[in-house]
Amino acid sequence: MIKFTIITCTYNASDVLRRTLESVMEQDYISVEHLIIDGKSKDNSVLISKRYKEDNDTANTGHEVIISSEPDRGLYDAMNKGIARATGDYLVFLNAGDCFHSKDTLSYVASCVGENEVLPAVLYGDTDIVDDNGNFIRPRRLVPPEKLSWRSFRNGMLVCHQSFYARADIAKTILYDFASYRLSADVDWCIRIMKEGQKRELPLRRVHAVLTDYLDGGMSVKNHKASLKERFMVMRKHYGLITTIIMHCFFIFRAVIKK
């Protein structure tokens, strides 16, 4: 039975944290480890997390909830801490404000892997964008391709980070480069995960379902210009300068056409 490690990183996020935790608790899949990595919040985030753990244990969901709260060097540092502590077969990041799309999301993802099959390097699916109240706004603009490779991200981050399930044994060898990227280390990380999957000759599998309700207005959206500069740096690193310039010209053209 596949074990999932869900990593929720939080800092002063008490306004949106509850619905994230509730969406995990409602999952009907049993083999779940939920790591809550708090950055020493000054609000009620830790208290909310502790109450969630108590409710989860009382409900006997079969999920293991582990909470830590200590200072960190930002979101990606917290994510690295989660990777280091993960014991599952796959890990996925579901940060404060984001939710699983349905109560059977993990069950469905697990069913997409055969019982005696070698585990794919990545399982990935679709994403919906929601508002602060969890109400549907629209599907994510970029749609995951049927066949994904590390080269696919030349066309943008086609898979939302929260709908990207990475094999934990691969992830533990590839940490977030938060020293180089403050806003786009997730793009770089996903590309490097996929590169390692190819090196190991492991498939990347499309899961035909919406996996995540993603909270509109994340860190990279709020820092849009700086994020774009970092993404250019990431693409240049992996795809070369000429390809990156050509693709960014295409991005600009695409944006103008859609207006």
At 144-184, the pLDDT tens digits run 999 999 999 999 999 999 999 999 999 999 999 999 999 99
Q: Is the pLDDT of residue 45 over 90?
A: yes
In this predicted model, what pLDDT tens digit does every residue of 2-14 receive, in sequence order? 999 999 999 999 9
- Yes or no: say if 179 and 223 are a contact pair by the CB < 8 Å rule: no
In this predicted model, what pLDDT tens digit does every residue of 79-132 receive, in sequence order? 999 999 999 999 999 999 999 999 999 999 999 999 899 999 999 999 999 998
- For 28-89, list the strands marked E by DSSP: 32-38, 64-69
pLDDT confidence tier of residue 257, bands split at 50, 70 and 90: low
* Span 213-223, average pLDDT: 71
Q: Is the pLDDT of residue 23 over 80?
A: yes
Res 234: pLDDT: 96
How deeply is 198 buried, as exposed, middle or buried, from its count of CB atoms within 10 A (0-12, 13-18, 19+)?
Answer: middle
* Span 52-77, average pLDDT: 97
Closest Cα to residue 99, out of 142, 131, 122? 131
Q: How far apart, in whole angstroms, are the C-alpha atoms of residue 254 and residue 259?
A: 9
Number of H helices, E strands in the chain: 9, 9
pLDDT confidence tier of residue 195, bands split at 50, 70 and 90: very high
Q: How far apart, in whole angstroms, are the C-alpha atoms of residue 121 and residue 198?
A: 8
Mean per-residue pLDDT of the chain: 93
pLDDT confidence tier of residue 216, bands split at 50, 70 and 90: confident
pLDDT confidence tier of residue 253, bands split at 50, 70 and 90: low
Res 96: pLDDT: 92
**Global model pTM greater than 0.75:** yes
